[in-house]
Structure 1
């Protein structure tokens, strides 16, 4: 129809997160087949496929295309805002206007539904004692969204076959995304424990989504959350 696909809004109840900031976001789900999760959680997943953000248009698409190309060719560290702006033929200030910092631009380029900072608010929303479950559910929720899963699979494949891919995987998932969690952990080995979280989750994703290891591929997200959470929680709380 001319009205396009219907959209359903999930409005989580506002609450104060462990980071001290109120958490009150609206997640929009596109009602088309490409946004349908591969498996369904029994209850509402922590993230959902979002619609297009404000500021869509030719300039935004040019920036995203340039970002994907730059991250693929130069890795996360080498793909600076100036490099991406030059490839997109736009002023670097426009990138900040549309996307904010580079980590948020990278998240948008792979259709990651949350900025790294907002992802940490989601993980820590119920306190450190529940952060493991929230982290695993968030991780699986992201992978169960088709467009995001395709982009993440490409990164993981590149990460095990090329130097640039490995650097991108390491920088974003290690130094950008999960490093936001480390400051909220106790102990001198917090960064090592975060690295172990990353190794556990990325290894699971590699076998489940890329390799298609049968037992993992057939398991429901809820089964995996129940089995993986105790190990991840041990890493987080030491």
Structure 2
């Protein structure tokens, strides 16, 4: 008896769903969002890039919004990332966080999937809401709360604004000074600001 996935392959000659197919689709989608943005990405193109039938993409993810959500979850992996970032001296957390983001962004001339996620968030509300949820709420707020700091939402949002601004300025706008600077040099400038947002004393408001 031929199952639904075998029927798809029988008609199209493309691979059925396997234990790795879902990850391959997510990887293809991440590449498409990075190259084409949210509006320029289609399920059909992602399916072609992954070498599967579009029906299989729809079966796994339903629609483009859900596919983008899967890409964002795969990029950030908030629960695992929080544990990793907390593994080290508290005083160097800002630098570890920045290194994590640089790793996701990749080489400035060959960006990784995070840039596509951020670019998509700049033009599409669903994409923006997903980035807010995973970067600020799921990752950074959890990180700040694990540190026992006050104002977790504000600290997380300020940190996110610094990281997103850096990603856009260096990788999308390609501001020359940022492009030419070595990541370690940038870390010397930026990590103290991230550290202050994450663990510094909250400013006192004048009465």
TM bucket, shorter chain = 0.5 to 0.7
* 1:119 and 2:119 aligned: no
Q: Deviations over 1:128-176 (max 9, x none)?
A: 2221111111111221258x93432222222222222322221221122
* 1:201 and 2:163 aligned: yes
* 1:89 and 2:59 aligned: yes
Residues 144/66 of structure 1: CA separation in 2 closer, same or farther (3 Å cut): closer
Residues 234/105 of structure 1: CA separation in 2 closer, same or farther (3 Å cut): same
What is the alpha-carbon distance in structure 1 between the residues aligned to residue 189 and residue 58 of structure 2?
44
Whose helix fraction is larger, Structure 1's or Structure 2's? Answer: 2
- Which is greater in Rg? 2
Counterpart in 2 of 1:159?
Answer: 121
What is the alpha-carbon distance in structure 1 between the residues aligned to residue 150 and residue 193 of structure 2?
19
For residue 179 of structure 2, the aligned residue among 217, 229, 235 is 217
Counterpart in 2 of 1:106?
Answer: 72
Structure 1 segments, 4+ long, off by >3 Å, are 59-69, 85-88, 102-107
What is the alpha-carbon distance in structure 2 between the residues aligned to residue 216 and residue 66 of structure 1?
28
What is the alpha-carbon distance in structure 2 between the residues aligned to residue 152 and residue 86 of structure 1?
25
Residues 65/195 of structure 1: CA separation in 2 closer, same or farther (3 Å cut): same
Segments of 5+ residues of structure 1 without an aligned counterpart are: 1-53, 74-84, 93-101
What is the alpha-carbon distance in structure 2 between the residues aligned to residue 86 and residue 136 of structure 1?
37
Aligned residues: 160
What is the alpha-carbon distance in structure 2 between the residues aligned to residue 172 and residue 68 of structure 1?
19
Segments of 5+ residues of structure 2 without an aligned counterpart are: 1-17, 33-37, 40-54, 63-67, 201-207
1:188 is paired with a residue of what secondary structure?
coil
What is the alpha-carbon distance in structure 1 between the residues aligned to residue 175 and residue 77 of structure 2?
30
TM superposition score normalised by structure 1: 0.55
**RMSD over aligned Cα atoms:** 3.6
What is the CA-CA distance between 1:235 and the residue it aligns to? 1.0
What is the alpha-carbon distance in structure 2 between the residues aligned to residue 63 and residue 223 of structure 1?
33
Is the contact made by 2:30 and 2:116 (CA closer than 8 Å) also made in structure 1? no
